[in-house]
Amino acid sequence: MNRMHIMPVKRIDGEIRVQGDKSISHRAVIFGSIANGAVTVTNFLHSDDCIATMMVFKAMGVSIEEPRRDTLEIHGKGLNGLTEPPDILEMGNSGTSARLLCGLLSGQPFFSVMTGDSSLRRRPMKRVVEPLRLMGANIWGRSDGDHLPLAVKGGGLKGISYRLPVASAQVKSAVLLAGLYAEGKTSVEEAAPTRDHTERMLRYFGASLELEKDGKVITIKGGERLYARDIEVPGDISTAAFFMVGASILDGSEIMIKDAGLNPARTGIIDVLKEMGASIDVSNIRDRSGEPVGDIYVRSSCLKGIEISGEIIPRVVDELPVLCVAAAVADGETLIKDAAELRVKESDRIAVMAECLSAMGVKVEVFDDGMRITGGKRLKGAICNSHGDHRIAMSMAIAGLVADGETIIEDTECIKTSFPGFEETLRSICK
């Protein structure tokens, strides 16, 4: 089992660029593959999760070249150019691949089987299978289709109007992808806004979407043609989040993160940290392939505990583990509510963060949909197991920087699902 050893540091300092955004890298491969023409993707996140998505399209006959580690040349085959994969499709640890591709495969007139690693095979799939079956897809799987492996025989779909029972961009995107292949119109309505990278990329490729109710209802017409355009993937704000929290909690720190994605559905981390008292400035905002990007400057400050709940949750869903670390250092209590989704991520992030922070001497009370963290006491170095969850491993590495003594993170292999260069980047700014 891989381990990471972290010793306390004085401060972090420097200018970094984080790797390409994971959500947008997945979508660049998906939409590039079904666009008409060639698409060059730069700053592609070369991580296990995004590679899983790329391998699926290669298995369906799409030619994808990799002239550099972070550059793809995708020869899009148009909406109806994919071919039946000759073998089982392996999604690895990636929920985004499994859920979005379940939607895409439902639109294909061929047979396919998807599976994933032991963590992904435990994660709920009914949330996508249910609407896709309503559209006419034939999907078989364990637990009546709630768990991978899933077998899909798609084609012949009909558009539906669907209200999402969970705030999930993956479910929204799966239904919109199937909608591209359905007869008539497909509408999804979300209760709380989630990341809209799918909608932005569809528009960037020339598809027309109708938005109603402040963007909460999204409608797509079947058969929209996608026109190939190059994509420059913004830096991943979810990986920037680790350094934002690190710089906030380590006295005397100062960090500049260049070219980070600033999609408003993803900037909850900035809003929450600022509410906790963090010193963060965003500058140089511009458009990159339909997404806002900019530079994020963070200086250390005294954080205080707050409540994190309600509509902000989908905007910080992936950053809650590292926000738990901020909460452990902040003065007073932080209450996280309405976050039951954390229980069905790569690990049960409520249970695992509680276990890791408790090992470091932090008082944590756990609820079904969140936790209460009492901060302000100096953390103790400890042995923390990531349970195979990349965001837990990276969050606990940040916690280790402010703890007394050594922190050992066990099971760190998973970090390469989203951020293969994490340890090098972190070590390069530790003083």
Could you tell me which residues are beta bridge partners of residue 63?
A: 75
Q: What is the pattern of x (binds ligand S3P, CB under 6 A) and - over residues 324-343?
A: -----------------x--
Q: Encoding tokens for residue 198?
A: 């799918």
**CB distance 338 to 311 below 8 Å:** no
Q: Does 119 bind ligand S3P (CB under 6 A)?
A: no
Q: Which is nearer to ligand S3P, 170 or 385 (by Cβ)?
A: 170
Q: Would you list the DSSP string of 211-256? A: EETTTTEEEEETT---B---EEPPB-HHHHHHHHHHHHHSTT-EEE
**Count, residues near ligand S3P per rule CB under 6 A:** 10
Can 389 be counted among the known catalytic residues?
no
Q: Does 168 bind ligand S3P (CB under 6 A)?
A: yes
For 405, counting Cβ atoms within 10 Å of its Cβ (0-12 exposed, 13-18 middle, 19+ buried), the class is exposed
Q: How far is the CB of 166 from ligand S3P (least distance, A)?
A: 7
Place of tokens 């990636």: 94
Q: How far is the CB of 318 from ligand S3P (least distance, A)?
A: 5
Could you tell me which residues are beta bridge partners of residue 353?
A: none
Which residue in the set 46, 77, 147, 195 belongs to the binding site for ligand S3P (CB under 6 A)?
195
Q: Which is nearer to ligand S3P, 316 or 401 (by Cβ)?
A: 316
Q: Which is nearer to ligand S3P, 299 or 343 (by Cβ)?
A: 343
**CB distance 115 to 121 below 8 Å:** yes
Q: Which is nearer to ligand S3P, 275 or 341 (by Cβ)?
A: 341
Please report, for residues 54, 93, 119, the alpha-carbon distance to residue 90 in angstroms, rounded to integers and kept in the order given. 11, 9, 13
Q: Which is nearer to ligand S3P, 177 or 429 (by Cβ)?
A: 177
Q: Does 318 bind ligand S3P (CB under 6 A)?
A: yes
Give the range of 70-78, 166-174, 209-217, 279-287 binding ligand S3P by CB under 6 A. Answer: 166-174
What distance in Å separates the CA atoms of residue 416 and residue 296, rounded to the nearest whole number? 24
Q: Does 169 bind ligand S3P (CB under 6 A)?
A: yes
Q: Encoding tokens for residue 315?
A: 């905007």
Catalytic residue (one of 48, 259, 318, 411): 318
* Active-site amino acid positions: 318
Site residues, ligand S3P (CB under 6 A): 23, 96, 168-170, 173, 195, 317-318, 341
